[in-house]
Structure 1
Amino acid sequence: MAAAWFRFARRSSPFSVAFRAFSVSVSHQASRTPVGFIGLGNMGGPMAKHLIDNGHPVIVHDVYPEAMTSLEDAGAIKASSPAEVASKADRIITMLPSSPNVQEVYCGEQGILSKVKAGSLLIDSSTIDPAVSKEMAEVAAKKGGVYMDAPVSGGIKAAAAATLTFMVGGKQEEFEAAKELLQFMGKNVVYCGDVGSGQAVKICNNMLLAIEMIGTSETMNLGMRLGLDPKLLASVINMSTGRCWASDTYNPVPGVMEGVPSSNNYQGGFGTALMTKDLGLAQNAATATKSPTPLGSLAHQIYRILCNKGYPLKDFSSVFHYLSEEEKK
């Protein structure tokens, strides 16, 4: 199997020049074997396209057939189910919305593990409960597969630009084989520890991101109500100690920045419902570890309210719109 041979080549004798040449050859051969990609939404679609653009034969599947059309036009091969993907590829990447979706795609009747080949490398870039990642790794191992969690940070702009950060959890000896694929879709591929560690890093990051976005939205709204020009306020914040990603890269106020969801009626980007899900995962982890997260808990409540107020499909920066409208009432 190409994935297994690539991992063998990476792990074996470091002193033989001839073997290093063999390793490079195997790496090149592995890069030309089919890669499966399941989940072609705002993030998964561009990620799969980068693999195609870098010469990888890609077999794709999504529950929405239209999501496969543009990739098929770019050269991808459509599959009717995750099982069909697994029967044709021994390196598979999944990018799915939630833990139940991951469990179904891997363990369902037509799931990956019903047809997985021994030695297959299974990389899940979804953001899910770390406990589910560990469960999937155990089930995959019984079928002869190698499961790694590799959630991402950076959003749709980074997915489109291939500048994502991957947070990888799994056996360290398998990391290079995973990185060989992930490097085509991101600029940072970081090994975080055992299976589930990537998810742990991701939910911590997203809890901070939500708190940061709410704080930026409150600050911008206050400044505007004090009569400040939002672009001026943002520029000063971004050269001062209040600077953060939500203010200088993903500002939530319409018109302050181009090319971000706030300037497109909060369309695209990272949905409020997905942020709410991630905050729920963080709160579950906080409860399990008895970690005090008062701001994380409050952020979760705020985003749950947003979902109930009609914002679930809007980008999570729409918290600014919600807060500004609420204060007018």
Structure 2
Amino acid sequence: GADFVISMLPNGKIAESLYIDGAALLDKVESSALLIDCSTVAAASSRRIGEAAKQRKLRAIDAPVSGGVAGAEAATLAFMCGGEAADVEAAKEVLTHMGANIFHAGPSGAGQVAKACNNMLLAIHMIGTAEALQLGVDNGLDPKALSEIMLKSSGCNWSLEKYNPYPGVMDGVPASRDYSGGFMVKLMQKDLGLAMEAALASQSATPMGGLAAALYNLHAGQEDGNPDLDFSSIQRFFGEQS
């Protein structure tokens, strides 16, 4: 049998169907196999899979990824893992072929919580970057000059430095190719939904995350194919409001 079983599925229902219900993979794998689910799903789904594996004396971790298509191609993905420390360490044997950073976030489901927190923050600073750039342009500033100023000032962030959302400012990013490719708006909507689900479960205050989710939902609802555009296309949303 396989030493490692790696899955990456669109939602928790499908992941649970693969491992527990339907295909019931947990009842078919060798006891020596390490199950690595790289799906981005609700933490509760990962915990259910982890608990079902534990009941069968199997090893399983959740390991959602960050880094997108470019990270996958360059083998520089970040894996946020939830599960037993020894199992995460064992998973590095295969994950290091795909990623440069492998983190143990905590017990089963913790990887999903870490991914939700990261992508909520990503959405917030992308929105803030787009909003600031549009404000500058509306008041007569050149977006490239403003970007250079903010890059050397306290407003510097990953979106501004690596993924500038304003067209014509940075080469090789989705904004330079009409927002095609990259991390689609509909995937950001999914991740923000998972973050809001986690916030509701823990009764955490996430006003900025909630607003980010609402803005991306509004952006996606416009009638020009926005759900399939890169998430930096939120810049276009602000441009249309000006």
TM-score normalised over the length of structure 2: 0.93
Counterpart residue number, 1:203: 116
Equivalent residue runs for 1:276-315 within 5 Å: 276-309=189-222, 310-315=225-230
Q: 1:96: how far off?
A: 2.2
Q: 1:108: how far off?
A: 4.6
Counterpart residue number, 2:55: 142
Equivalent residue runs for 1:129-278 within 5 Å: 129-278=42-191
Counterpart residue number, 1:66: none
Identity over aligned pairs, percent: 47
Cα deviations by residue, 1:136-156 (Å, 9 ceiling, x for unpaired): 112223344311011122222
Cα deviations by residue, 1:246-265 (Å, 9 ceiling, x for unpaired): 10101111221122111122
> What secondary structure does 1:167 align onto?
strand
Task: Indicate whether 1:325 and 2:240 are aligned.
Answer: yes
> What secondary structure does 2:227 align onto?
coil
Taking the aligned partners of 2:70 and 2:142, their CA distance within structure 1 comes to: 26
Q: Is the 8 A contact 1:116 1:143 kept in 2?
A: no
Q: Is the 8 A contact 1:150 1:199 kept in 2?
A: yes
Q: Is the 8 A contact 2:72 2:99 kept in 1?
A: yes
Taking the aligned partners of 2:14 and 2:137, their CA distance within structure 1 comes to: 41
Taking the aligned partners of 1:237 and 1:245, their CA distance within structure 2 comes to: 12
Q: Which runs of 5+ in 2 are unaligned?
A: none
Taking the aligned partners of 1:159 and 1:239, their CA distance within structure 2 comes to: 29
Counterpart residue number, 1:70: none
Cα deviations by residue, 1:168-211 (Å, 9 ceiling, x for unpaired): 11011212211111111111111111111111111011111101
Taking the aligned partners of 1:248 and 1:186, their CA distance within structure 2 comes to: 21
Q: Which runs of 5+ in 1 are unaligned?
A: 1-87
Higher RCO, Cα 8 Å, sep 6+: 2
Q: 1:116: how far off?
A: 1.8
Counterpart residue number, 1:97: 10
> What secondary structure does 1:188 align onto?
strand
Runs of 4+ in 1 over 4 A off after TM superposition: none
Equivalent residue runs for 1:37-76 within 5 Å: none
Amino acid at match of 1:172: A
Counterpart residue number, 1:316: 231
Task: Count matched residues.
Answer: 240
Is the alpha carbon distance of 1:100 and 1:307 closer, same or farther for their aligned partners in structure 2, counting shifts above 3 Å? farther
Taking the aligned partners of 2:80 and 2:92, their CA distance within structure 1 comes to: 11
Taking the aligned partners of 1:175 and 1:249, their CA distance within structure 2 comes to: 29
Is the alpha carbon distance of 1:142 and 1:119 closer, same or farther for their aligned partners in structure 2, counting shifts above 3 Å? farther
Amino acid at match of 1:271: M
Taking the aligned partners of 1:276 and 1:208, their CA distance within structure 2 comes to: 13
